[in-house]
């Protein structure tokens, strides 16, 4: 039984977003700036 | 501390400026959200794109201070992802994507006919080299070759313009080409593109 489950373990890899994507999101969050003026919100990205 | 409280605490910390809290939130729900998206789109790259867009929306909402679903973070994120998945299918049905296979690649059949910049430069170089070589030909042969190749005149027109018979014009053209080849061979010139 163990053999049957073990042969194609590679095909059962779990789906997970890549570390690069997570890194991008964290960088995006750091660079995002929201400013408010006269009741309106403005987004800006500071790189 | 149960999962829901933990999420709301992380959100609170993130809103107050703790970027690490966002990292924990993303990592915590990464697998579940990715698997959810993948189960619908069945493509790793699209999953990655939708995952990214989902969290961009999450980040914007949290930073704008408009998040008001305390304690229900994951269902909210899933709903954003679900809407983005629907958008994706709407877009792809309007603009179906064609993917080539190992046996058929569309780009083997269509392409840009224009020369790239390197080939353009090579062509210009060849054209100017050829002009110098043509200049070496005897005057009568040069005249016929220029009229035929550069001015696209027929042999009848060449004959009329130079005051010779069509056969003489043809003969001069033939010798012009033979002599050009000779000059090229003698000087080991390579004219290729």
pLDDT at A8 over 70: no
pLDDT at B58 over 90: yes
Q: Which residue has the higher pLDDT, A45 or A20?
A: A20
Report yes or no on A7 lying in a domain. Answer: no
Paired residues of A34 in beta bridges: A43
Report yes or no on B192 lying in a domain. Answer: no
Judgement on whether residues B146 and B84 belong to the same structural domain of the protein: no
Give B48's contacts in chain A (Cβ within 8 Å). Answer: 17-18, 21
Q: How many folded domains does chain A comprise?
A: 1
Q: Record the tokens describing residue B167, joined without a space.
A: 């056969």
Q: How many folded domains does chain B comprise?
A: 2
For residue B162, count CB atoms less than 10 angstroms from its CB and return exposed for 0-12, middle for 13-18, buried for 19 or more. middle
Across the range A5-17, mean pLDDT stands at: 62
CB atoms within 10 A of CB B189: 13
Q: What percent of chain A has pLDDT over 90?
A: 32
pLDDT tens column, B18-55: 999 999 999 999 999 999 999 999 999 999 999 999 99
| Yes or no, beta carbons of A17 and B51 under 8 Å apart | yes
Report yes or no on B10 lying in a domain. Answer: yes
The predicted pLDDT at position A28 comes to 93
SS (H, E, C) chain B: CCHHHHHHHHHHHHHCCCHHHHHHHHHHHHHHHHHHHHHHHCCHHHHHHHHHHHHHHHHHHHHHCCCCCCCCHHHHHHHHHHHHHHHHHHHHHHCCCCCCCCCCCHHHCCCCCCCCHHHHHHHHHHHHHHHHHHHCCCHHHHHHHHHHHHCCCCHHHHHHHHCCCHHHHHHHHHHHHHHHHHHHHHCCCCCCC
Report yes or no on A47 lying in a domain. Answer: yes
Report yes or no on A8 lying in a domain. Answer: no
Judgement on whether residues B62 and B15 belong to the same structural domain of the protein: yes
Across the range A36-45, mean pLDDT stands at: 76
pLDDT tens column, B133-186: 888 899 999 999 999 988 889 999 999 999 999 999 999 999 999 998 888 888
Domain, as residue range, for B132: 117-186
Judgement on whether residues B134 and B89 belong to the same structural domain of the protein: no
CB A40 within 8 A of CB A31: no
Domain, as residue range, for A47: 16-47
Lowest mean pLDDT, pick from A25-29, B77-81, B115-119: B115-119
Taking the CA atoms of chain B, what radius of gyration do you get in angstroms?
Answer: 35
The domain boundary residue, chosen from B94, B126, B159: B94
Chain B residues in contact with chain A using a Cβ-Cβ cutoff of 8 Å? 19, 22-23, 26-27, 30-31, 33-35, 37-38, 44, 47-48, 51-52, 55-56, 59-60, 63-64
> In the predicted model, what is the mean pLDDT of chain B?
87
Most confident residue range from A38-42, B62-66, B109-113: B62-66
Give the CATH number of the domain where residue B15 resides.
Answer: 1.10.1740.10
B31: nearest CB among A14, A25, A32: A14
Report yes or no on B104 lying in a domain. Answer: no
Report yes or no on A11 lying in a domain. Answer: no
CA distance B90 to B162: 69
The predicted pLDDT at position A37 comes to 76
Q: Which residue has the higher pLDDT, B72 or B84?
A: B84
pLDDT band at B3 (very low <50, low <70, confident <90, very high): low
Judgement on whether residues B133 and B74 belong to the same structural domain of the protein: no
């Amino acid at each position: 039984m163990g053999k049957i489950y073990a042969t194609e373990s590679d095909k059962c890899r779990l789906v997970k977003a890549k570390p690069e994507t997570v890194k991008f999101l964290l960088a995006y969050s750091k660079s995002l700036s929201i400013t408010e003026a006269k009741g309106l919100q403005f987004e800006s990205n500071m790189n | 501390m149960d999962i829901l409280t933990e999420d709301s605490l992380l959100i609170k910390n993130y809103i107050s400026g703790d970027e690490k809290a966002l990292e924990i939130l993303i990592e915590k729900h990464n697998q579940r959200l990715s698997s959810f998206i993948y189960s619908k789109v069945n493509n790793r790259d699209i999953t990655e794109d939708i995952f990214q867009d989902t969290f961009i929306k999450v980040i914007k909402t949290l930073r704008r201070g408009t998040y008001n679903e305390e304690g229900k973070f994951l269902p909210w994120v899933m709903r954003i992802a679900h809407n983005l998945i629907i958008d994706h299918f709407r877009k792809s049905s309007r603009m179906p994507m064609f993917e080539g296979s190992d046996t058929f690649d569309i780009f083997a059949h269509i392409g840009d006919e224009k020369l790239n910049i390197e080939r353009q430069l090579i062509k210009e170089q060849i054209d100017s080299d050829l002009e110098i070589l043509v200049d070496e030909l005897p005057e009568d042969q040069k005249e016929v070759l220029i009229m035929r190749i550069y001015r696209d005149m027929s042999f009848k027109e060449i004959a009329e313009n130079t005051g010779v018979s069509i056969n003489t014009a043809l003969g001069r053209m033939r010798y012009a080409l033979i002599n050009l080849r000779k000059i090229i061979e003698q000087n080991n010139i390579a004219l290729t593109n």
